[in-house]
Amino acid sequence: MTKFDQYTQDSRKILVITSQPLDLDCIASGLVIKKYLQHINKDAVLIFPRELSPEEAEQYNFLPYFEEFNAKDSREYLARGDFDTLILLDGTNWVQFYDYKNEELPAPVLDKSKKIIQIDHHLGDPEDLATYQIKNNKASSTVEVILSEITLNNFIDESIATLSYAGLVGDTGNFRWNFRAAAMKTAAMLLEEGARTTELLERTFFSKSRGYLDMLSYAIKNTEYDDELQTQFLFMPLEKQQRDGISEEMLKLLGDAYTSELANTVKGYPRGLYIKEFEEKGKIKISGRGSSMFNKINLPILFSKLGGNGGGHFNAAGTSCTRDLEEVKKELKDALREMLKEV
């Protein structure tokens, strides 16, 4: 009997919340754990804690079981409380598990009288959220943790294999970063079980929209290079967004294009940081990517020096805060300068 089986042995109704931000691993781990709970005859409800845009829904609707990916604010389910076990997937901070952008409602209370199980693979200093943890910081993805430490071999069919493979390639950039031998062995097993990879890889890595490529071009033209800090920056203050006619959807494409294609690929600049200001002036989000070979700065530790909510991996991390943008830029560069003295 696995630890997970022990933790859920007496569970009658289980609420599963898979964390923000939306990506292939949070989708895959959520759907795989839900299907596994059903496989072992548990009553489970899966929530992703905010609504998806039409573009997001279209982007992922080819995945197996995506019609069961219930995307809405988790506050209603948490307030109702008609579950005895809560599973938190793929996240370290409570703010990732509800729609924090909806400021008309207060943050939901985490009811610690419930049995809470946290399943995750991220580095950092997580909040004290769970009664039990199933965590492996060396795993490539949360779906790898689920496959290696929770599920039974006879559970994996072609659809589960395809979904799980999506989680693996999503968090490793199609095996370009953040993976070890165990991830490759898991990938091989999923291929043997019939994972359908052609459409997945085409949609995720090989086929890009014109809008995406336009934003990649914009990123190349607007990236700033700091030779002293050996770091590239893409700053997107609200005024610049408005001046250049960058819509919210374009801003999302810009972030995806920059972090996927540019941030860790420029010779001599082993890390790149994308800093954007939200429409509510003063709200800042930062995403960073580092070269697996050359970056020596732990990005979650760098971001922790700014305060706010964040986490991630050594070479792929993010944070958000409510601060003055110019102060954030200065503190970020000062923190980088100090950390570079120690490497």
Assign residue 250 the CATH number of its domain: 3.10.310.30
In this structure, the number of other CB atoms found within 10 A of the CB of residue 240 comes to: 13
Same domain, 171 and 228: no
Same domain, 146 and 59: yes
In this structure, the number of other CB atoms found within 10 A of the CB of residue 151 comes to: 21
Classify 16 in phi/psi space as left (phi over 0), alpha (psi -120 to 50) or beta: beta
Give, in order, the Cα–Cα distances in Å from 199 to each of 27, 67, 166, 202, 319: 17, 18, 11, 5, 32
Domain that holds residue 333: 210-341
The rounded radius of gyration (Å) of the Cα atoms in the chain is 20
Same domain, 115 and 217: no
pLDDT digits (tens, 9 = 90+) for 125-145: 667 889 899 999 899 999 999
Same domain, 188 and 124: yes
Same domain, 186 and 215: no
Spatial CA neighbour of 274 closest among 245, 307, 303: 303
The confidence score (pLDDT) of residue 106 equals 93
Same domain, 180 and 219: no
Average pLDDT of span 156-170: 97
Same domain, 39 and 64: yes
pLDDT digits (tens, 9 = 90+) for 269-310: 999 999 999 887 678 999 999 999 999 999 989 998 887 666
Instruction: Give the full edge-to-edge strand order of the sheet including 283-290.
Output: 224-226, 231-236, 271-277, 283-290, 316-322, 309-313
Average pLDDT of span 10-22: 96
Pair type for strands 309-313 and 316-322: antiparallel
Query: Which amino acid is present at 226?
Result: D
DSSP string, 256-285: HHIIIIITTTSTT--EEEEEEE-SSTTEEE
Of the listed ranges 58-62, 87-91, 149-153, 271-275, the one predicted with least confidence: 149-153
Same domain, 199 and 271: no
pTM of the model: 0.89
The confidence score (pLDDT) of residue 124 equals 64
pLDDT digits (tens, 9 = 90+) for 164-223: 999 999 999 999 888 999 999 999 999 999 999 999 999 999 999 999 999 999 999 999
- Domain finish residue from 171, 206, 241: 206
Same domain, 19 and 126: yes
Same domain, 153 and 217: no
The confidence score (pLDDT) of residue 309 equals 61
